[in-house]
Amino acid sequence: MATFTYLEAVRQALWDEMENDERVFMLGQDIGTYGGAFRVTAGFLDRFGPGRIVDTPISESAMVGCAIGAAMMGMRPVVEMQFIDFISCAFNQIVNFAAPNHYRWGQQVPLVVRGPAGGNVHGSVYHSQNPESYFHHTPGLKIVAPGTVADAYGLLKAAIRDPNPVLYFEHKYLYRRLKDELPATGTSEGLVPLGKARLARAGRDLSVITWGAMLHVALEAAGRLEAEGIDLEVLDLRTLKPLDQEAILATVRKTSRVIVLSEEQVTGSVAGEVAARISQDAFAWLDGPVHRLCCPDTPVPYSPTLEEAYLPNVDKLVAKVRELSAY
């Protein structure tokens, strides 16, 4: 088995799907000759040519608009946002056109919009956002946020094969920090189904529900708390839309105490939606309030010291677990 970084897993998934299906092509800024801002597509232009690796102007709305048209004509475009923050420039195309097309007249839009999200890299407000909650309200979209190497590979393959639009948020902090083995790669290997959460760690005392880079915060906190006799269960949602309601309720029934851990600003967050579902559908199993550990309602700071204070981390999660365990 070969070892891949998180970034290499994304790259390998794109490569495999382009080899597998000639309808798959990519659009984005500097993805061709330069190979992408994070070098995800280095070498793709030489292999697949300018007809399938399309360098675009700096216009996210144009990129997504072209991709929607291509998808409606039977292609399977993958749009790279150089930083996911700028997906907001294509908000109208995604929300008002790509997402509802299947509902409007049965027209599928097999489109993937992917790019680097998240903070902890000192990128400040324009290069550190987690925009999942902006789109979580929109019917017709799927939203994916992998937190492992295997999921970065398998979920992207599944997203490209999905018949309707998928937003795929890669956490840039994990790109070169996370390494693991992929048991198999290739055209028919390693698929991870959309809409299915993964139990990352079984436990008995308290559940942490999370996704993306926060998965590793939860797992590190679980290791620290084990020495105190607190056994955390960690559920990795992987797909944020649709949410795996069955997995969420199952972990609540098991432990009766829940923290939803997320790198979003707290107000209007996906974490809030998860907490609301638990309160509505699993209230009888709860032995304490559902807690959210998210970011404050401010822009992402540039200063490393301020960003550290802004983001959820292991110390904050450990303190929150102790508080809820003692409730």
End-to-end C-alpha distance for the chain, whole angstroms: 46
Q: Decide if 133 contacts 101 (C-beta within 8 A).
A: no
3 state DSSP class of 166: strand
**One-letter-per-residue 3-state SS of the chain:** CEEEEHHHHHHHHHHHHHHHCCCEEEEECCCCCCCCCCCCCCCHHHHHCCCCEEECCCCHHHHHHHHHHHHHCCCEEEEECCCHHHHHHHHHHHHHHHCCHHHHHCCCCCCEEEEEECCCCCCCHHHCCCCHHHHHCCCCCEEECCCCHHHHHHHHHHHHHCCCCEEEEEEHHHCCCCEEEECCCCCCCCCCCCCCCEEEECCCCEEEEECCCHHHHHHHHHHHHHCCCCCEEEEECCEEECCCHHHHHHHHHHHCCEEEEEEEECCCCHHHHHHHHHHHHCHHHCCCCCEEEEECCCCCCCCHHHHHHHCCCHHHHHHHHHHHHCC
Instruction: Specify the DSSP class assigned to residue 82.
Output: S
Please confirm, yes or no, whether 127 is among the known catalytic residues: yes
Q: Decide if 201 contacts 219 (C-beta within 8 A).
A: yes
Q: Is the dihedral of CA 115, 45, 98, 141 positive or negative?
A: negative
Instruction: Please tell me which residue in 127, 171, 216, 291 is annotated as part of the active site.
Output: 127
Closest CA to 232 of 262, 265, 209: 209
Give me the active site residues, please.
127
